[in-house]
Amino acid sequence: MFNFIRKHQAWGLVFIGLVIISFVVFFSPYGKLQRSGALGGGDFGSIGGRPVTEEEFRLGQKEARLDFRLRNGAWPEEGARGAGFDQVRQAMDRVFLIRKMKELSIEPGDKAVAAQIAEYFRDQERGTFDMQNYEAFTQNLLRTAGLTKQDFHEFILHQVGLSHLVSVTGIAGELVTPREAEASFRKENEQTIAELVLFQTSNYLAQVTVEPAAVEQFFTNRQAVYRIPERVQLSYVSFAATNFMAEATQQIAKNTNFIHSVDAEYQQRGANFFKDEQGNPIAEAAAKEKIKHDVEKQLAFGLARRTASGFANALFARESAQAGELDKLAAASNYVVRATAPFTLAQGPSELEVDRSFGDKVGKLTPEAPFLTPIASVDQDAVYIVALKQRIPSSVPPFDNVREAVTADYRNTQARDLARKAGQAFYASLTNGLAQGKTFETVCAEANVAPLKPAPFSSKTRSLPDTDNLVSVFEMRSAVTALTPGKASPYTPSRLGGYVLFLKSRQPAPDEQVKAELPTHLEELRRQRQYASFNDWFTKELEHANLRMPGGYKSAN
């Protein structure tokens, strides 16, 4: 998404005008990062009492973002995974590691760097270096993020150095013997053969007798379950970006360099950057039209924000701070005031596209301070001015209002209890029968139950399609942990009711599998131990380094 309007503009600052700036900065998420006000007074923190220079910090920022991009396939600002990305913390960690590499004289050679780049851009089918992919990455993707090929090469240099640092500090992790690895492999790949007897709640619903007095008593005993939490209702005025598209188009028409800027942006990103919904490159004219449309949308959003800020200024300047002032000012300005449906702070209003922090902001509103500063929609399609309309206290609804839901809950609760009793009775008869020398199959036949036979599973199994919708493999793995073959687990409640699991046998991993896969397992086990050792070293070193974050910065985590 284009960053023409800075997302964190303070509400009270009204735009003086809209200017189309250089497209290099205009389309650069990193350029926005550098202009961020997260750091105060040029203070970039310190490590071990030694100040971090701006050059070091900017390098750390670049490399932290590159590392995120290569791990996740997107820049931090482009997806949900980036929501927890703390750019300042990650940059400082990166600076710390680069300094440690220098202290330990870890200086990778050009051949190691070239090999790592070749590995990153290896064609999976042919196993060779994919030059076209590399050029697209360095010439298009990096440039649009405000980064250069040199930035990337320096990042790779430090990545190779980091792998050497892991080797040096994690050497204890390599001390895994082949015998230890084989024991670990055999344990992880031992196959469990088990059978399940299910007692599903749904199978007992028909046996439940619904008596009105019992249902009412059930409601009385569980009123807290049906209590309606405190809710909030807001009044709001929406300034939609679509209402300003015509003005945005006029703004663009006045800029004689706009077409050249679009051409430059198209050339910078490359023809393959612009794709249709099927992932196919689109024609040049269509791509340029998309660029133009995206710019128009951002300009329109900026105009909407400017108008909303002006309205907010006028609202906050009124002598009275009553919520009704929003209605009065909107009426005088020919704006429509709408009301949200009552909502809980955890849910948020269905009418407004807002982020998770919105509930926290609304929770602080009072009749004496009923207004929020302008709120931009998540997709930047609108700006909202909101006021507290009313708070609706928590209450228990009358029984008649929730009779249907309470009755359904009562039936399910009674059915679950019947399933539990049936499961416990079966377990008792199973343990008695096994003690008498009966087989599992005989006891099941006598109890008229049909066991399920899941596919064999091991401690590494993550899914069993035949039974996952009934009992997860994780539950079964837990249930068999303490069992020996020929024994059964007690009745265990589950999402759909409950079950009894019978362990028939444990089969060792085939020798052929051990022989074929053990070398890889040994390598992976050593790598895991090595990284665990490195992480322990890193944590301790960071504690001793007395790392001080940049001035004025507070970590989001």
pLDDT tens per residue, range 431-465: 999 999 999 999 999 999 999 999 999 999 999 98
The answer to whether residue 102 is domain-embedded is yes
Residues 238 and 282 in one domain: yes
Domain boundary among 372, 392, 412: 392
Give the C-alpha separation, 159 to 162, whole Å.
5
Query: Are residues 264 and 22 in contact, defined by beta-carbon separation less than 8 angstroms?
Result: no
Please tell me whether residue 438 adopts helix, strand or coil conformation.
coil
Residues 387 and 246 in one domain: yes
The answer to whether residue 67 is domain-embedded is yes
CATH number of the domain that residue 420 is part of:
3.10.50
Residues 108 and 240 in one domain: no
Residue 4 has what DSSP assignment? S
Q: Tally DSSP H helices, then E strands, for the chain.
A: 20, 9
pLDDT value of residue 85: 84
C-alpha dist (Å) from residue 521 to 178, 278, 516: 10, 39, 10
Residues 166 and 291 in one domain: no
Residues 150 and 203 in one domain: no
pLDDT in tens, the chain (557 residues): 222 222 223 333 222 222 232 233 333 333 333 334 445 557 888 998 899 999 999 999 999 999 998 888 888 877 666 667 888 899 999 999 999 999 989 988 889 889 999 888 888 778 888 888 888 888 778 887 888 889 999 999 999 999 888 888 877 666 788 899 999 999 999 999 999 999 999 999 999 999 999 999 999 999 999 999 999 999 999 999 999 999 999 988 888 888 888 888 888 777 777 888 887 888 989 988 988 888 899 899 999 999 999 999 999 988 787 889 999 999 999 999 999 999 999 999 999 999 888 999 999 999 999 999 999 998 889 999 999 999 999 999 999 999 999 999 999 999 999 999 999 999 999 999 999 999 999 999 999 999 999 999 999 999 998 888 999 999 999 999 999 999 999 999 999 999 999 999 999 999 999 999 999 999 888 888 888 888 888 889 988 888 888 876 655 54
Residues 371 and 463 in one domain: no
Residues 388 and 414 in one domain: no
Q: Which residues pair with 237 in a beta bridge?
A: 385
* Helices (H), ranges, 104-174: 110-120, 131-136, 142-144, 149-169
- Helix/strand/coil (H, E, C) string of 327-363? HHHHHHCCCCCEECCCECCCCCCCCCCCCCCHHHHHH
The answer to whether residue 478 is domain-embedded is yes
Residues 381 and 277 in one domain: yes
Among 395, 396, 376, 399, smallest CA distance to 386 is for: 376
Q: Count other Cβ atoms within 10 Å, centred on residue 325.
A: 18
The answer to whether residue 22 is domain-embedded is no
Domain boundary among 392, 426, 450: 392
User: Dmax of the chain from CA atoms?
Assistant: 95
Domain boundary among 370, 392, 414: 392
pLDDT tens per residue across span 363-410: 999 999 999 999 999 888 999 999 999 999 999 999 999 999 999 999
Residues 103 and 79 in one domain: yes
305's CB contacts (< 8 A; 6+ apart) are 5, 9, 15, 239, 374, 376, 383
Residues 457 and 376 in one domain: no
Phi (first) and psi of residue 422, to 5 degrees: -65, -40
CA dihedral 154, 159, 163, 166 (to 10 degrees): 100
Residues 368 and 446 in one domain: no
The answer to whether residue 322 is domain-embedded is yes
The answer to whether residue 151 is domain-embedded is yes
Please tell me whether residue 236 adopts helix, strand or coil conformation.
strand
Q: How many domains does the chain have?
A: 3
The answer to whether residue 242 is domain-embedded is yes
Residues 75 and 166 in one domain: yes
The answer to whether residue 21 is domain-embedded is no
Instruction: Determine the structural domain holding residue 379 and report its residue range.
Output: 228-392
286's CB contacts (< 8 A; 6+ apart) are 274
Q: What is the pTM of this model?
A: 0.62
